[in-house]
Amino acid sequence: MIILTGGAGFIGTNTLAALNQLGHDDIVVVDNIAATDKWKNLVNKSFRHYLPKKQLWDWLARNQAERVEAVIHLGACTDTMEHDFDYLTENNIVYSQRLWQLCTEKQIPFIYASSAATYGDGSLGFSDDHAKTAQYKPINQYGFSKHLFDLWALKQTASPAGWYGIKFFNVFGPGEDHKGRMASVANFAIPQALKTGKIRLFRSHREDCADGEQKRDFVFVGDVVSIIIHFLESSAASSGLYNAGTGKARTFNGLASAIFTALNKPVNIEYFDMPATLKGSYQYFTEADMSKLGSTGYEFRPTLLEEGIHFYSEWYLQSRQ
């Protein structure tokens, strides 16, 4: 049995679909659906139970822990504008530590979601080399909470039988509608282009960067799911932190152009000021160093941005029919 936290979320629901395709259905989905539309992500998926996140511990205490064979922990507060650090600590650190302890006691694999937000403004690079981890300086509280758990994990002398903290970069693709303001730019831009014929992007507020030339490592959700599955199935990979990006930064202008091409529309980009509250915590550049993943024997071939956007656009159009 596999515990999948965040299993009704964006990356979680795509991971659930991939596990089903591999023949896994003995899965406990843990999430915090409440009164949201995330339940729709579980339609046509196969799993044994759904548990609200607060009920997991009582459920495990009723002798269910004996059956758990692996934990994929993707549940977290991912809001980069969340300012309640106590809330972030409880969700992103304490909850993760309890799952770590479960996997350590049972000596089973533990795969968890870290984040590229741990790297801060990028001035110190984007290497997942453990020797460099402590030097990074996150620029928002979400990134700091993820960074603190990464550091905690690296210090543990007792650990699960294989643990993998996956640092997700800018993931986009089907299944993220519920994320609201934390959804990818592509999630907003595709319907915007269809409805208005234009895409609005943040204006740059740095002299060394033109409007729309901010760069991110945009990675298709199917690619990060393939990395999760790799670590679930690989017993030879060394435990630790691993980047999950493409290794190639692309501009927001390039992303918008790919969307217009996919929708057969002329390029029409409008720039606007980003909120003042975001300016100090905005990453102008991210680019994953993917060399470490290759050392695990995984031949990672990321989806080209244009291909991923074409697939996403086609999915969006079909899902609205």
Q: Would you give per-residue pLDDT tens digits along the chain (321 residues)?
A: 999 999 999 999 999 999 999 999 999 999 999 988 999 999 999 999 999 999 999 999 987 788 999 999 999 988 888 889 999 999 999 999 999 999 999 999 999 999 999 999 999 999 999 999 999 999 999 999 999 999 999 999 999 999 999 999 999 999 998 888 889 999 999 999 999 999 999 999 999 999 999 999 999 999 999 999 999 998 778 999 999 999 999 999 999 999 999 999 999 999 999 988 888 778 899 999 999 999 898 889 999 999 999 999 999 999 887
199: tokens are 């895409």
Distances (CA, A) of 47 to 42, 86, 178, 273: 9, 32, 21, 44
43: tokens are 């339609």
278: tokens are 């975001």
Q: In whole angstroms, what is the distance from residue 2 CA to residue 69 CA?
A: 6
Q: Are 175 and 44 in contact (CB under 8 A)?
A: no
Q: Are 171 and 11 in contact (CB under 8 A)?
A: yes
173: tokens are 């693709």
Choose among 209, 218, 220, 219: nearest CA to 284.
Answer: 209
The residues carrying an active-site annotation are 142, 179
How much is the pLDDT for 320?
Answer: 83
Q: In whole angstroms, what is the distance from residue 227 CA to residue 237 CA?
A: 12
Three-state secondary structure call for residue 224 = helix
How much is the pLDDT for 227?
Answer: 97
71: tokens are 């934990």
Output phi, psi for 195, to 5 deg.
-80, -40
Q: Which domains does the chain have, with CATH numbers?
A: 2-171+218-248+286-303 (3.40.50.720), 178-215+249-285+307-319 (3.90.25.10)
CB atoms within 10 A of CB 249: 20
How much is the pLDDT for 236?
Answer: 73
